[in-house]
């Protein structure tokens, strides 16, 4: 199941717990597809490791953290005034909002191996 929006980076701590971190930024038209991809990954994890979700310090085999932010970008026109030596800025029309989601999934070696294989992660 290749992913199209989430691009995971992998790291491992000294105890052998692996963490996959991904970030995806989406336009309003792309946002439903990004949400579906995040849901697909989390649904897979819950389906394949159903009774082991939770923090490692509480005996869990895997856990995740997810957050998102929506921002509207307003381009600024900039002009240098040679008479005053200053830069003047003028806001132009705001663009469409972009939503950025971050997803971190951590887990045991077995969980990370299975996740890597299921989603063809490097």
Instruction: Name which of 40, 37, 28, 45 is nearest 6 in CA terms.
Output: 37
Tell me the whole-structure pTM to 2 decimals. Answer: 0.82
16 has a pLDDT exceeding 90: no
Whole-number pLDDT of residue 64: 98
Integer angstrom CA distances of residue 94 from 33, 69, 75, 101, 109: 24, 17, 7, 21, 45
User: Encoding tokens for residue 35?
Assistant: 């949400």
Q: Which whole number is the average pLDDT over 112-117?
A: 96
């Amino acid at each position: 199941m290749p992913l199209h929006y989430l691009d995971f980076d992998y790291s491992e701590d000294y105890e052998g717990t692996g963490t996959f971190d991904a970030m995806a930024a989406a336009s309003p038209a792309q946002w439903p597809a990004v949400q579906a991809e995040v849901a697909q990954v989390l649904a897979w994890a819950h389906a394949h490791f159903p009774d082991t979700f939770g923090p490692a310090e509480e005996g869990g085999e895997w856990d995740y953290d997810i957050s998102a932010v929506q921002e509207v970008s307003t381009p600024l026109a900039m002009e240098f005034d040679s008479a005053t030596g200053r830069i003047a800025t003028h806001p132009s029309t705001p663009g469409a909002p972009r939503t950025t989601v971050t997803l971190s999934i951590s887990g045991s070696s077995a969980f990370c191996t299975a996740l890597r294989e299921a989603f063809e992660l490097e």
